[in-house]
Amino acid sequence: MRRDILTGSYFTLGDIACAEGALAAGCRFFAGYPITPATEITEHISRRLPEVGGIFVQMEDEIASMAAIIGASYGGIKSMTATSGPGFSLMQENIGLAAMTETPCVVVDVMRAGPSTGQPTKTGQQDVMQAKWGSHGDYEIIALAPSSVQEMFDLTIEAFNLSETYRCPVFVMTDEIIGHLMERLVIPEPEKIHLATRKHPTSSSSQYLPFRAGEDLVPEMAVFGEGYRFYATGLTHDETGHPQTDSPDEHAKLVRRLCDKIRNNTDKICRVERAFLDDADVCVVAYGSVARSALASVVEGRKKGAKIGLLRLVTLWPFPDHIVEQVAEQVNRIIVPEMNYGQLVREVERSAGRRKVTSLPKLGDALHTPEEIFAHAFG
């Protein structure tokens, strides 16, 4: 029995909301390997994809999973995989391949405590720097951080739209708490969901240059099997796709374009949420599940007369430097609570100035409480 995309209101897990968001975005291929705490995404989408005419493949490992979604994307299908820290580590070489071949795809990382196998059933935010720098070489990616079940749905759709628009891997960097959180999810009618698609070739197959880009620095993308014959290689290549490993000029030109197609559009890509910042003396910068505690701390603090506000990072990469700089100019102090030993706080320090920023790290399975955040801000 075939069922179309779901609509309506549900009470469900964040992981399931993510899977349904992928389907609503047009994902029709998923390759993955079960891993806590992302397994519910794999389990749910394995049932749902055949119902909408899609394909699910359980791969032998995360290396193969990443390779498979790259191939599916070049076959013209929106594709995704989901994992947690150890699997994310295994994917890094092929994430670099996706960046070099400019492959639209989505990777969901439901973060847990590490390093290594760590605490498989516990939460953490220890992969955010790996998302930026995990593979070797210079490249840019986009990473989003949901803070609710609804955002697991909404930001998964946005991840697909961004990947199609900029021809790059996009990460949904959530954590165990949000992945296993149960909340209300509202799925709108399909016609109310904006979907982006990659630019298809406007030239004939004989004139097509697979890596020639216009002013937006994003090349048109042909689909394998539709008469366009071209190379898609991880080697340094020119506009034709042919390797140019001995040309420093071609290498510099290519790498600059791979980076600048994201860097030049930071203002369009970056999203934040502000709360009570108009007159704030202290700002809490947070993301993911920690942002929920941070907001509660800010609301309670305001009731006590404290001038405290919240800057929630929805986009982690590219980092919203200009926004953090603006906030730093108006407040006296910035607090960065994270479920790690201090990672994104370094980016906040770089943008805001080290003297204004203090880190509030937390390791293990316990989320920051609103009281802890407030005490750190005013203790």
Largest CA distance in the chain: 70
For 114-140, how does the pLDDT look when each residue is reduced to its tens digit (9 = 90+)?
A: 999 999 999 999 999 999 999 999 999
Give the pLDDT mean for 13-19.
98
Give the pLDDT mean for 54-64.
98
Quote the percentage of the chain above a pLDDT of 90. Answer: 96
The answer to whether 170 touches 142, Cβ cutoff 8 Å, is: yes
pLDDT at 152: 98
Quote the percentage of the chain above a pLDDT of 70. Answer: 99
For 261-295, how does the pLDDT look when each residue is reduced to its tens digit (9 = 90+)?
A: 999 999 999 999 999 999 999 999 999 999 999 99
pLDDT at 366: 85
Residue 4 pLDDT grade (very low, low, confident, very high; cuts 50, 70, 90):
confident
pLDDT at 379: 76
- Enclosing H/E stretch for 326: helix 321-330
Above 80 in pLDDT, residue 2? no
Residue 363 pLDDT grade (very low, low, confident, very high; cuts 50, 70, 90):
very high
**Where do you find CATH 3.40.50.970 in the chain?**
8-192
β-pairing, 8-13 vs 182-187, is: antiparallel
For 168-222, how does the pLDDT look when each residue is reduced to its tens digit (9 = 90+)?
A: 999 999 999 999 999 999 999 999 999 999 999 999 999 999 999 999 999 999 9
Instruction: Provide the CATH topology of domain 8-192.
Output: Rossmann fold (3.40.50)
For 35-46, how does the pLDDT look when each residue is reduced to its tens digit (9 = 90+)?
A: 999 999 999 999
> How many helical (H) and strand (E) elements, i.e. helices and strands, does the chain have?
13, 14
The answer to whether 211 touches 238, Cβ cutoff 8 Å, is: yes
pLDDT at 3: 63
Above 90 in pLDDT, residue 364? no
Q: Distance of alpha carbon 376 from its chain centroid, rounded?
A: 29
The answer to whether 147 touches 178, Cβ cutoff 8 Å, is: yes
Q: What are the CA-CA distances from residue 76 to residues 79, 199, 222 (Å)?
A: 9, 11, 8
Give the pLDDT mean for 15-38.
98
Above 50 in pLDDT, residue 1? no
Above 50 in pLDDT, residue 333? yes
Give the pLDDT mean for 285-312.
98
User: What is the C-alpha to C-alpha distance for residues 375 and 368, in angstroms, rounded to an integer?
Assistant: 11
Residue 316 pLDDT grade (very low, low, confident, very high; cuts 50, 70, 90):
very high
Note the helical H segments in 61-148.
62-74, 85-100, 128-133
The tokens for 134 are 């995990």
**Out of 3.20.20.70, 3.30.1330.10, 3.40.50.920, 3.20.20.10, which CATH number does the structure's domain 273-378 have?**
3.40.50.920
- Sole residue written with tokens 């910035």: 334
pTM over 0.85: yes
Q: Distance of alpha carbon 237 from its chain centroid, rounded?
A: 27
